[in-house]
Amino acid sequence: MAARDDKTQDPVLRQQLLLTRRGQSYFSRKLHELSDAEFDEPSGLAGWTRRHLIAHVGLNARALTNLTEWAATGVETPMYSSPTQRNDDIEFSSTLPVQALRNLSDHAAIHLNVEWRDLEADAWMHEVRTAQGRTVPVSETIWMRAREVWIHAVDLDNGGSFADFPAEFVDRLLTDVLGAWDKRRDAEALPSFVLSPTDRASSVSSGDVASAVTLYGTATDLAAWATGRGTDGVSASTGEVPVAPRWL
Ligand code: ZN
């Protein structure tokens, strides 16, 4: 009989898988609250209808399934055959009948979850290459998927909110975004920031603290700002709240 539980016993991986599955449930719930007609309306992302966004999230699950199968079998299976293919697939899938889009979302998520569940414990450290060309252990796909499902649930723009996110997700998101800015700071001359969440014991920073703009707000509001999802509840030491650099 097939295992119904994750093969990995690593408590950290199991916790991450739980967080991502909760995110998938949240995304699916928001999606199922949409009527068929509402699929045609704009998403929260510029230039994309909800159809584009739903297609993207489904195709992302397939792409991460490719990486998980790569780790399981050793047969190189990239996320996408090319950046053009990624975008063409989103465009094409966005034109599918609504029921087909709903099925894509559900089935791709289930398939990815099965691949994760059945991945042998020692295979989680196997290295794969992301669409951005980064070489990472396949365990990184869990966090990659967490970001997609939680944040794009809000981008569906039908009532999802960063306020619904678990604190552990919000905190890791802040670390992730600030780390991404750190890596690109010199090349892109990014400004420095201190984020001082009013509901956390300590601040987080990116760049040179002495010259940084300090931003205040709840950790949730700061995470929304840092990922380019609005400035509600955020204030800045310089008065006007600056636009956050791009994240990914
Ligand atoms: Zn995305």
Specify the pLDDT at position 21: 97
| Residue 88, CA atoms < 13 Å, CB-side half-sphere | 6
Interior angle at CA 58, CA 53 and CA 63, nearest 5 = 120
Q: How far is the centre of ligand 1, averaged over its atoms, from the C-alpha of 163 (Å)?
A: 19
Contacts of 188 (CB under 8 A, 6+ apart): 245
Q: How far is the centre of ligand 1, averaged over its atoms, from the C-alpha of 191 (Å)?
A: 25
Q: Which residues surround ligand 1, an ion (CB under 5 A)?
A: 148
Q: How far is the centre of ligand 1, averaged over its atoms, from the C-alpha of 149 (Å)?
A: 8
Specify the pLDDT at position 1: 45
Q: How far is the centre of ligand 1, averaged over its atoms, from the C-alpha of 3 (Å)?
A: 30
Specify the pLDDT at position 3: 55
Q: How far is the centre of ligand 1, averaged over its atoms, from the C-alpha of 6 (Å)?
A: 25
Closest CA to 32 of 54, 17, 2, 63: 54
Q: How far is the centre of ligand 1, averaged over its atoms, from the C-alpha of 117 (Å)?
A: 23
**In this structure, which long-range contacts are made by residues 25-31, counting pairs with CB atoms below 8 Å and at least 24 apart in sequence?**
26/149, 26/150, 26/153, 26/160, 26/164, 27/57, 27/149, 27/150, 27/152, 27/153, 27/156, 28/105, 28/106, 28/109, 30/153, 30/156, 30/158, 30/159, 30/160, 31/102, 31/105, 31/153, 31/156
Indicate left, alpha or beta for 233 from its phi (over 0: left) and psi (-120 to 50: alpha).
left
Residues comprising the chain, all counted: 248
Q: How far is the centre of ligand 1, averaged over its atoms, from the C-alpha of 144 (Å)?
A: 9
Q: How far is the centre of ligand 1, averaged over its atoms, from the C-alpha of 29 (Å)?
A: 18
Interior angle at CA 244, CA 203 and CA 218, nearest 5 = 40
From first to last of its 248 residues, the chain has per-residue pLDDT tens of 455 799 999 999 999 999 999 999 999 999 999 999 999 999 999 999 999 999 999 999 999 999 999 999 999 999 998 889 999 999 999 999 999 999 999 999 999 999 999 999 999 999 999 998 999 999 999 999 999 999 999 999 999 999 999 999 999 999 999 999 999 999 999 999 999 999 999 999 999 999 999 999 999 999 999 999 999 999 999 999 999 999 98
Give whole-number Cα distances, 197 to 41, 201, 205, 212, 223, in Å.
34, 8, 11, 15, 10
Q: How far is the centre of ligand 1, averaged over its atoms, from the C-alpha of 209 (Å)?
A: 30
Q: How far is the centre of ligand 1, averaged over its atoms, from the C-alpha of 177 (Å)?
A: 14
Q: How far is the centre of ligand 1, averaged over its atoms, from the C-alpha of 240 (Å)?
A: 29
Q: How far is the centre of ligand 1, averaged over its atoms, from the C-alpha of 141 (Å)?
A: 13
Q: How far is the centre of ligand 1, averaged over its atoms, from the C-alpha of 112 (Å)?
A: 16
E strands, 76-212, in order: 127-129, 135-137, 193-197, 204-206
Q: How far is the centre of ligand 1, averaged over its atoms, from the C-alpha of 210 (Å)?
A: 34
Q: How far is the centre of ligand 1, averaged over its atoms, from the C-alpha of 148 (Å)?
A: 5
* 239 DSSP assignment: B
Q: How far is the centre of ligand 1, averaged over its atoms, from the C-alpha of 103 (Å)?
A: 18
* pTM exceeding the 0.85 threshold for the entire prediction: yes
